[in-house]
Chains A and B, each alone.
Chain A
Amino acid sequence: MTYRSQLVASLAAAGLIATSSAAFAEAKVALMGGITGPIAGMAPAMIASMKLALDQANAAGLAIGKITYQEFDCGCNPQVATDAATKAVNVFGADAAVGPACSGALLAAVNSVTIPAGVLVVSPSATSPKITDLDDKDLVFRTVPSDDFQGRALARTLLERGVKKVAVAYINNDYGKGLAEAFKAEFEAKGGTITQFRGHEDKKASYRSDLAELAKGGADTLVLFDYGNASGMTILRQAIENGFFKQFVGADGMRDENLIKTLGEANLKHFFVSAPVGEAGAAFEKFAEAARKAGLDPNATFAATSYDAAALVALALEAAKGDKAKLPQALRAVATAPGERIYPGEWEKAKQLLAEGKEIDYKGASGDHEFDAKGDVPGSYAFFKVEGGTYKEVQKMK
């Protein structure tokens, strides 16, 4: 055997050893937020909530040792997110990731980086229905419900309220399109009629020609999947000004207080939105208390889901006992029934139960997180109207 072939053989052997022992000496978690870009305003609270959960876990002294974490900026952008994920996996050596925050960013990052690398990903805020159907080897989860639930619930609610014929306009991105398609499938399956189904681009000066097209077919109701601080506002304004449609229905993106301020409450009597509602309960209160102590606003957008995503990752790391391959299985075990209930902050109890080999069932600040086969959680939604300068719940949506 020459020197060179010896070297090759020993390297190969080393490689074999390295792949067969998946145990990690130190648990590493990447926090992937949309620190720059369109959701930059939400990112600080989200990242801080993730850190809160991991700091609590470290303070409790888990059996797997200290969890090291590092922030990565996904920019709410597919390219930036792919770079960030590559860095997180190859340089930082992450065992699991919390995030990415945006749907488009998540889809790019998991397809090209984290799924091939076998890294668990739990997103607190990516809501696109496309994520449900990913071929993800059970590695992609989220603590926020898919818009598929919202779209379908909204379709059922409208039919229940006697609206049988609608036109649908959506902003042409993963959010708008995903919602619109879920809505369409359910609305038509339950006997409703969709007269027009059209996408549009953001930031145009006029949507009057779009509205004229949408109005063809004679629907009285326009269902508008868009953002209330972007083209959604322009479309709504031009529709009301020009007398298109009698009633307007939006989803969570349209639930924007600034919209009421600029268009005037008197003009929005026939405007309704659906939006997810948190389950106010003991679990949320426990998180809220810890968050306030840490100087965080527990009601900040996606703060609770971010805390839960990080907490679930920490619990899964502990339950998998350092075996990266077992992480998805461990995540399901700690998040879903059966098992002893664990509320936010009950790290000592969780640690003890897991050490004894018992099952636990995490009840999170933002919900129970009973993951389905696709790694999604069901959500609860309500239907809102405009009243007193804000949005007031009209009914729960089923």
Chain B
Amino acid sequence: MSGLELINFYVIPGLISGSIYALGAIGITLIFGILRYAHFAHGDMATLGAYVALGLVGSLALSPWVALPIAMAITALVAVVLDRVFYRHLETRPKILTVMASLGVALMLRSVVQVVWGVDPQVYSTGIVRAESYGGLMLRSRELITFATATGLVLFLMAFLRYTRWGKAMRAMSDNPELARLCGVNNEAVTRLTWVIAGALAAAAGFFLGINTELNTMMGWSALLAMFAAAILGGVGRVEGAVVGGLVIGLVEELSVLVLPSQYKMATAFVILILILLVRPQGIFKGKVL
């Protein structure tokens, strides 16, 4: 096997899946870090975002790339509403209740998508796109855009967290919510902002998953495990960790096919998850220990 073949059919697809996992994992890691529970509806939030974009493409005849930011905004709004309607009431109760509630929300979101858009797989645009060769590298514009947009969103988010007042407030609340409140951080506003970011990024993850394959109502749920594995691998609460974790999971999944039967592709994310919990529970970037 030539090096180019390795890059074209194993590394590039791995990086694309990895960027998608990373976008989802960032939301999971932020919610984990700041609100302190595992949000199981995150995958289905991604599904919803993808279908909202599909709805915009179908009804307003928008280009998918124009529909993406609108879908991100709508999904962010939905995330805030979900928090207000379901999760906020459980704030003072044990966190496990919120985790269970998020499972229920996951089922609800999926059912809504199934009722509105049906259960058959759908696509943003029909037909197929053959790759163009860049000196032997086989790439499609949608793959370049996926990678570029994911990178852009991550850099923007990291700058936001590091340099703005709101970013600092989020980090403060992640470190210690009581102390943050004493220092005048508005916990409620930070919670809302967390949901806006998580929802928008989830929608982007779902959209890129959909545009690189097809949309189906289980797409988010089946990617959820990989996203969780990415968040834990990188270190809970660490955005850069979620990105590295996502890319590692995506690459390992694709490269595992070289040595393992393809049936075990899915299992590699599990194996990484178990290993990291055993060997280094704080993750690569020293996040919270679960």
Contacts and interface: CB of A to CB of B under 8 A. Distances in A.
Q: Which 3 A-B pairs have the closest CB atoms?
A: A212-B9, A206-B13, A264-B127
Interface string A233-244: 110010011110
Contacts of B9: 208-209, 211-212, 242
Given A212-B10, A212-B257, 18 more contacts: A41-B119, A199-B262, A200-B262, A201-B262, A201-B263, A206-B16, A206-B212, A209-B13, A213-B257, A213-B262, A233-B121, A240-B130, A243-B130, A258-B120, A258-B121, A263-B128, A264-B126, A266-B127
6 contacts: A204-B222, A213-B258, A229-B121, A234-B213, A237-B128, A261-B126
A237 B213 CA distance: 8
A65 to B, nearest CB: 42
B8 to A, nearest CB: 8
A205 B216 CA distance: 11
A20 interface: no
B183 interface: no
A208 B254 contact: yes
Nearest to B138: A242
A203 B222 contact: yes
B265 A200 contact: yes
Contacts, number: 107
B122 interface: yes
A238 B113 CA distance: 26
Interface of A: 41, 172, 198-206, 208-213, 216, 229-230, 233-234, 237, 240-243, 258, 261-264, 266-267
B131 interface: yes
A41 B258 CA distance: 38
A53 B140 CA distance: 55
B223 interface: yes
Contact of A209 (B127, B214, B223, B258): B258
A214 B119 CA distance: 30
B175 interface: no
A14 to B, nearest CB: 49
B263 A172 contact: yes
Name the residue in A199, A202, A206 with the highest tally of chain B Cβ atoms < 10 Å from its Cβ: A206
A379 to B, nearest CB: 27
Nearest to B209: A205
Given A212-B10, A213-B257, A241 B130 contact: yes
A169 B180 CA distance: 55
B126 to A, nearest CB: 6
A204 B266 contact: yes
Given A212-B9, A234-B214, A204 B253 contact: yes
B5 A212 contact: yes
A262 B17 contact: no
Contacts of B20: 205
A327 to B, nearest CB: 38
B265 A208 contact: no
Nearest to B123: A262
Contact of B254 (A199, A209, A230, A242): A209
Contact of B255 (A201, A209, A243, A266): A209
B265 A198 contact: no
A79 B122 CA distance: 31
Nearest to A227: B121
A230 B20 CA distance: 19
A253 B13 CA distance: 26
A366 B213 CA distance: 37
B205 to A, nearest CB: 10
Contacts of A202: 222
Contacts of B219: 203
Contact of B126 (A198, A200, A201, A263): A263
B13 A208 contact: yes
Interface string B122-139: 110011111100000010
A201 B140 CA distance: 25
A243 B128 CA distance: 11
B184 interface: no
A335 to B, nearest CB: 36
A202 B263 CA distance: 9
A172 B264 CA distance: 10
Contacts of B209: 205
A206 B17 contact: yes
Contact of A205 (B12, B16, B121, B123): B16
A242 B130 CA distance: 6
B261 interface: yes
B16 to A, nearest CB: 7
Contacts of A210: 257, 262, 265
B74 interface: no
B121 A209 contact: no
Given A198-B261, A212-B9, A242-B9, A203 B218 contact: yes
B266 A241 contact: no
Contacts of A201: 262-263, 265-266
Contacts of B120: 229, 258
B257 A209 contact: yes
A248 to B, nearest CB: 13
Nearest to A234: B213
A260 to B, nearest CB: 10
A36 to B, nearest CB: 13
A210 B13 CA distance: 11
